[in-house]
Amino acid sequence: MQNILILADGREAEHFLRRIGQKRIADNRYTVVMPHPLSGETPLPSHIAVHRFDPTSYLKLRRMLHEEAFNIVFVVMQAAEEGQACLEIIRSVDPRLPVILLDPTAQMEAHNDSATHLVTVPELIAGRLYDQLPNVPLVAQNVGLGQGEIMEVLVPYGSSFAYRHVGSIAQVKWRIAAIYRDQKLLLPTNATMIRPQDTLLILGKPQVLTNLYYRIGQKEGRFPEPFGRDLYLLLDPSLEGVTTLARLQEAIRLQRQTGDVQLYIRVVHPGDFAQLEAIRSEESETVHIQVSYGDTPPETILIDDMIDYDIGMVMMAPALFKNPAIAGELLGRKKLVYLFGETPVDRVERSVVLMGSESEMESISSTLFYASETWGLEPCLCWYDPEGDFADRQRVIEHYETLARIFESPITIERETLNPIRALESMEPVLHIVPFTAALLEKDWFKFFSTQLGDYLLDSPRHPKLLIPAEEG
């Protein structure tokens, strides 16, 4: 819910308020301050709260701003000096509160205030008239087919797209073409991080973009976004053996913990009849089970299912993930991967990530917090170094501490002079968070002599693991 304050006076303000009354937006809450009632007989709708006082009153406006938290303020005043006075009062309370300020004369100044956006009336009129001239290129709102294939989307705080690198987001049938940040245009690369309050210029099929608009702005039910909406279990009884039903039950518990998502279960190489009947008995409105009896390779079945369903996280046994074709497809399509461990994730208390490169740590940070919040785990960043060198990752620490404040989720940061692999093995069962990169899948016959942390991360079956697509460091 966006809490919006409107300081209004004059003809333009009346037109603006009546438009708001006609175009009701359920997720917006409006508070209007105006010195005079609207002209005419039609009052404002009841969902718009009106306070009758002069918006330039320092004491009254300052008191309102202190008593209630607003997401944005619209200053639509008839006189330029009154609008400027309102802005000065707002800035005395909150220098960073976003303000949309109507400039009726094109002579106002925002005093280098990046949080204030001037809407200049003469320039708006001139721009509209200029667009009607022959042989004049149209501005962005008129470019293309005009069917919604070009869209701007604001990334709010709490969005699952915030604090993610562009390259770690699968962009199928759509693309992030540009990012507007602090009134500057950025042409993103895979390494560009999306930040709250960025405006994304996205291109793609209109139906895809409409769905994306709500997903980017969504703050509830965020996991496993932005990798997809639902969960998927690839179950192979020929590999799982006696643990098959236990894996199935763990997947169903995870689906229930995750919230309003569907769980799609694909059984390949089914076992005996009794076991298959036990699997089928778990089907429900949110749990969908399909069995493949033929010789189609599991990776082909997985690809088809990822095309048919909006899958965000794939669950499987580590033995299945060792299939290079399966692992490669999951990496290429940028999907979360949950690998079962000896202890189910609903029996652990912490999610742990071992310190890695700065780009990898930033790429997985927001998803670590979302997953921990969704599954009720305490996040922990473990900076273990056998040499005790803790000088080159301070920016990562600050990044995680900032996210912890934003998510209101305390994080434990451990610095120890330890071998990270041995320290991980000695822990009580945890959810091990791992950056999912191409380096993780590389086969090295000399790995025994390797000093790269990623060469050992998938070897131990003790802890369940969540692999998060990341920008390579």
Output the six-digit token pair for 104: 């009726």
Do 73 and 64 contact (CB within 8 A), yes or no? no
Residue 14 CA neighbour count, 13 Å, CB half: 12
58-77 average pLDDT score: 93
* pLDDT at residue 298 is higher than 50: yes
* pLDDT at residue 330 is higher than 90: yes
Q: What fold does the segment set 230-329 form as a domain?
A: Rossmann fold (3.40.50)
**DSSP state letter for 453:** G
CA-CA distance, 418 to 173, in Å (whole number)?
45
pLDDT band at 385 (very low <50, low <70, confident <90, very high): confident
Q: Is 371 helix (H, G, I), strand (E, B) or coil?
A: helix
* pLDDT at residue 76 is higher than 70: yes
What pLDDT is stored for residue 41 in this prediction? 62
Do 76 and 6 contact (CB within 8 A), yes or no? yes
* pLDDT at residue 221 is higher than 60: no
Q: Is 216 helix (H, G, I), strand (E, B) or coil?
A: helix
pLDDT per residue as tens digits for the range 178-204: 999 988 999 999 889 898 889 899 898
Taking the CB of residue 201, how many other CB atoms lie within 10 A of it?
A: 18
Q: Is 206 helix (H, G, I), strand (E, B) or coil?
A: helix
pLDDT band at 147 (very low <50, low <70, confident <90, very high): low
CATH superfamily of the domain spanning 345-469: HUPs (3.40.50.620)
CATH 3.40.50.150 correct for 2-131: no
The DSSP element (H or E) to which 298 belongs, if any, is helix 298-308
What pLDDT is stored for residue 137 in this prediction? 38
285-310 average pLDDT score: 92
Residue whose structure tokens are 């460091």: 473
**259 conformational bin, left if phi > 0, alpha if psi -120 to 50, beta if neither:** left
Q: Give the chain's end-to-end CA distance (angstroms, integer).
A: 37
Topology agreement, domain 230-329 and domain 345-469? yes
The CATH architecture one would assign to domain 146-217 is 2-Layer Sandwich (3.30)
pLDDT band at 467 (very low <50, low <70, confident <90, very high): very high
Domain residue limits, the chain:
2-131, 146-217, 230-329, 345-469
* pLDDT at residue 220 is higher than 90: no
> Is the model more confident about 260 or about 451?
260
